[in-house]
Homo-oligomer: A and B are copies of this chain.
């Protein structure tokens, strides 16, 4: 039952190349396979930038004291892309940065898999750090992605970032 009613939010409609093209143009996209961090990083190469800050959110093997086996992320792709574009645009206005890119992965992830990647380049270091953190926080607050944790006894639950 779960797979039926969530099938539309576990995979994306776009091709992988489309996803990276959207990420390069708009700064954000959803992807349903492993994130190619080197590809995103290369997209940000800029001779005028002395600073590159990046963050990877990975699936960890515990949540508080509970052991986690795997995690499934579900996303509302079209809203995520529209909202992601707005977040990256706002980051470029708030901080002295040259460029920023983020991708959130959806689907079934294993321990250690990268769920979200954020990279920022700027001339100087503090705006890169500040923008990277702000983009991550704003993605976690506003991008329509949900997650369900699965435990050793095969039970699961919906998680929430804000209570």
Binding site for B on A (CB under 8 A): 38, 45, 47-62, 111-112, 123, 125-126, 128-129, 132-133, 136
Contacts and interface: CB of A to CB of B under 8 A. Distances in A.
Contacts of A132: 53, 129
Specify how many copies of this chain sit in the oligomer: 2
Contacts of A129: 55, 129, 132-133
24 contacts: A38-B38, A45-B112, A47-B112, A48-B61, A48-B62, A50-B58, A50-B59, A50-B60, A51-B55, A51-B57, A52-B55, A52-B56, A52-B58, A53-B53, A53-B54, A53-B132, A54-B54, A54-B55, A55-B125, A55-B128, A55-B129, A57-B125, A60-B123, A125-B136
Count chain B CB atoms within 10 A of each CB in A52, A62, A111, A112 and give the residue with the most.
A52
Count chain B CB atoms within 10 A of each CB in A55, A126, A128, A136 and give the residue with the most.
A55
Contact of A60 (B48, B126, B128, B136): B48
Count chain B CB atoms within 10 A of each CB in A49, A53, A123 and give the residue with the most.
A53
